Amino acid sequence: MKHEIIEKNIGLMIILIILTISGGFLVEVVPLFFLKQTNEPVEGLEPLSALELEGRDIYIREGCHVCHTQQIRPFRAETERYGHYSVAGEFVYDRPFLWGSKRTGPDLARVGGRYSDAWQRQHLFNPRSVVPESNMPAFPWLFENRVDHTETASKMETLQTLGVPYSDEQISNAAEQVKGKFEIEALVAYLQQLGTVISDKR
C-alpha cells in the first residue's frame, strides 16, 4: 500500500491511527489488569488510620508532594540511598497517588521510622535547625491548628466505596480518634507509616 493513498484519505488515516493506538493499548495495558503484583496489596498492607488519613490530606494541602516524590525507581543509586524500589502493591489503597514527579527534597517512600517523631516535628517547625542546607519552608501553624475531625468519617466512607477495606467500626470511630489532635501529629503519623510495609531499608 502506498503512503500517498493513506495520506490523501483523511478518513482512512484516522481509522488506521485508531487501530494502531488500540493495538498498542491491548498489548501494553490490558495484561497489567491480570497480573497479581500490579493490583493486589503487598502482604501486611493496611489502610491508613484515621489520623494518618488526615495527615495525608495535610501533606497534600501543604504541597509536600510538589517537592517530594514517593516512588523509588529500580536504579542502584536510588535503592542504595532509599531502600527497596517501590512496587505497585504498596499503593493500591492510595487515593490520590502521591508518587510525585520532582525531587527538590529527598524521596519519602521509605521515610517511615527512619527518624524519630521528635526529629520530624523539629524538621517541620524549623527545617534548618536539623538540616542546615535545607531549602524547605517551615510549617509552624501545624503546631497551632487542630485537625478538623468532622469530615474524617465521610472521607473514609468515600475511600471504602473506592475499594479501600475500611470496616464500619473504623469509620464510626474515626472522628473520636482524631478529635483534639494537632495537625502536626497527623502529618507525623502519616510520614511515619510511609514505606514501612516493605522492611528492606537502608
Average pLDDT over all residues of the chain:
91
pLDDT of residue 38: 65
Q: pLDDT band at 1, cuts 50/70/90? A: low
- Measured CA to CA, the distance from residue 98 to residue 91 in angstroms comes to 9
- Contact assessment for residue 71 and residue 86, using Cβ atoms and an 8 Å cutoff: yes
pLDDT tens per residue across span 33-82 = 777 666 788 888 999 999 999 999 999 999 999 999 999 999 999 999 88
Q: pLDDT band at 8, cuts 50/70/90? A: confident
Non-local (6+) Cβ contacts of 17 within 8 A are: none
- Measured CA to CA, the distance from residue 99 to residue 76 in angstroms comes to 19
Non-local (6+) Cβ contacts of 94 within 8 A are: none
Dig out the grid coordinates for 177 from the structure: 480518634
Q: Which residue has the higher pLDDT, 6 or 200?
A: 6
Q: Which residue has the higher pLDDT, 170 or 101?
A: 170
pTM: 0.82
Q: pLDDT band at 201, cuts 50/70/90? A: very low
Q: What is the mean pLDDT of residues 101-109?
A: 91
Question: Does residue 202 carry a pLDDT above 70?
Answer: no
pLDDT of residue 34: 76
Q: Which of 18-22, 49-53, 88-92, 133-137 bottoms out in mean pLDDT, i.e. has the lowest?
A: 88-92
pLDDT of residue 200: 58
**Number of helices (H) and strands (E), helices first, in the chain?**
10, 0
pLDDT of residue 174: 94
**Domains of the chain: which residue ranges?**
3-32, 46-193
pLDDT of residue 40: 83
Q: Tell me which CATH code domain 46-193 carries.
A: 1.10.760.10
Q: Which of 100-114, 115-129, 140-154 bottoms out in mean pLDDT, i.e. has the lowest?
A: 100-114
Q: What is the mean pLDDT of residues 6-26?
A: 91
- Measured CA to CA, the distance from residue 192 to residue 84 in angstroms comes to 17
